Amino acid sequence: MNKDVWTDRQVMLGENNFEFYHYLDVTSPKVEFHQHPFYELFLLLDGDVSYTIEGKTYQLRPGDILLTNSLDIHRPEIRPGRPYERVVLWLDDSFFDPLRSYGEDLAGCFADAARKDYRRVRPGQAASIRIRSLCERISQLQNSHALGNLALEYACILELLVEVCRCYFDPSGQDSEEVTESGLVNDVLRYINRNIGGNLSLDGIAEQFYLSKYYLSHQFRRYTGMSIYQYIIKKRVTVSRDLIRGGASVTEACMECGFNDYSNYLKAFKREFGSNPSELTRARS
């Protein structure tokens, strides 16, 4: 497969509703916690990597796949000593619309993974070979200008998604080994996400769970990699972004996500995404 140059960009370029990348880094990149307004399919090809998504840390093997959506805060931890090689496929929700009219929703595995709070797929050997072959085919099509290549690329991505969905919904692909998590932190994350527009504070959450705020802070950072305050702010601006993309005004999104100060909301949004929320409303027009 042809290699792309990795950047920390987390937005799509151009007018297509999908983007496919094959990255190979000999020197391990430093990746911060992030999220993006689309689905992401991540396939590890090589490397010593663990991946934290919403409080769960998955120790990955080559061939493992991760499925994240627009609300998932995540980050890889890449340890030195081996090349870090992976395929990344970004998919806007509109990519799936043509098949939805026929009753096929290949985004279903992403939605189910978020609902079950378990985002890793571990395909069997035969499926892994087919998936790798499809990725190689997509890479070849991307780097050719022959007539119909974009249509063939789209068809190969659909076939790739079918393979991944079949692996995901196969119980043998749901291997819970090599996952580090805390039942307490999972409960706290669920509480925060269900009350994202409410008055969330460390003291209030600690009281809700009958815990010392110092113990809660330590456990939360241990399993998520960030403080409770950092997580709440990231999640609030992420939810607000999706609300604006869905038609809400900037003011409505600000208030619904628990920001009581509009100027603080604008600062937090720009710090997270590098742009003002008003740019999303202009993009809808």
Query: Tens of pLDDT along 64-75?
Result: 999 999 999 999
Structure tokens at 115: 């609902």
Verdict on whether the full-model pTM lies above 0.85 = yes
pLDDT range class, residue 174, cuts 50, 70, 90: low
93 and 13 Cβ atoms separated by less than 8 Å:
no
Q: What is the structure's pLDDT at 1?
A: 77
Measure the CA–CA gap between 87 and 106, rounded to whole angstroms: 19
d(CA 216, CA 206): 7
pLDDT of residue 122: 94
pLDDT of residue 8: 85
Secondary structure (DSSP) of 66-81: EEE-TT--EEEEEETT
Q: Count the neighbouring beta carbons within 10 Å of the beta carbon of residue 148.
A: 9
Helix then strand then coil, % of the chain, to nearest 5: 45, 20, 35
pLDDT, tens digit, 9 for 90 and up, residues 187-200: 999 999 999 999 99
100-122: average pLDDT: 93
**Average pLDDT for residues 84-107, to the nearest whole number?**
93
Report the pLDDT value the prediction gives residue 233, as an integer from 0 to 100: 96
Token pair for 30? 């430093």
Residue 283 confidence (pLDDT): 65
Share of the chain above pLDDT 90, in %: 79
Least confidently predicted of 97-106, 167-176, 228-237, 249-258? 167-176
Model pLDDT, residue 173: 53
- Which of 5-19, 55-69, 100-114 has maximum average pLDDT? 55-69
Q: Is 50 helix (H, G, I), strand (E, B) or coil?
A: strand
Q: What is the dihedral of CA 124, 126, 127, 131, to 10 degrees?
A: 130
Q: What's the pLDDT band for 13 if we cut at 50, 70, 90? A: confident
Q: Name the band, by pLDDT with cuts 50, 70 and 90, for residue 279.
A: confident
Domains and CATH numbers, the chain: 18-173 (2.60.120.280), 182-284 (1.10.10.60)
Nearest-angstrom CA–CA distance, 60 and 29: 17
Structural contact between residues 39 and 19, judged by C-beta atoms closer than 8 angstroms: no
CB contact at 8 A, 55 and 185: yes
C-alpha neighbours within 13 Å on the C-beta side of residue 79? 6
Report for 173-182, 217-226, 269-278: range of highest mean pLDDT: 217-226
Rounded distance, CA 115 to CA 183, Å? 16
CA triple 243-247-252, angle to 5 deg: 60
Distances, alpha carbon 12 to alpha carbons 90, 92, 194, in Å:
8, 9, 29
Q: How far is Cα 257 from Cα 200, in angstroms, rounded to an integer?
A: 11
The pLDDT value recorded for residue 264 is 94
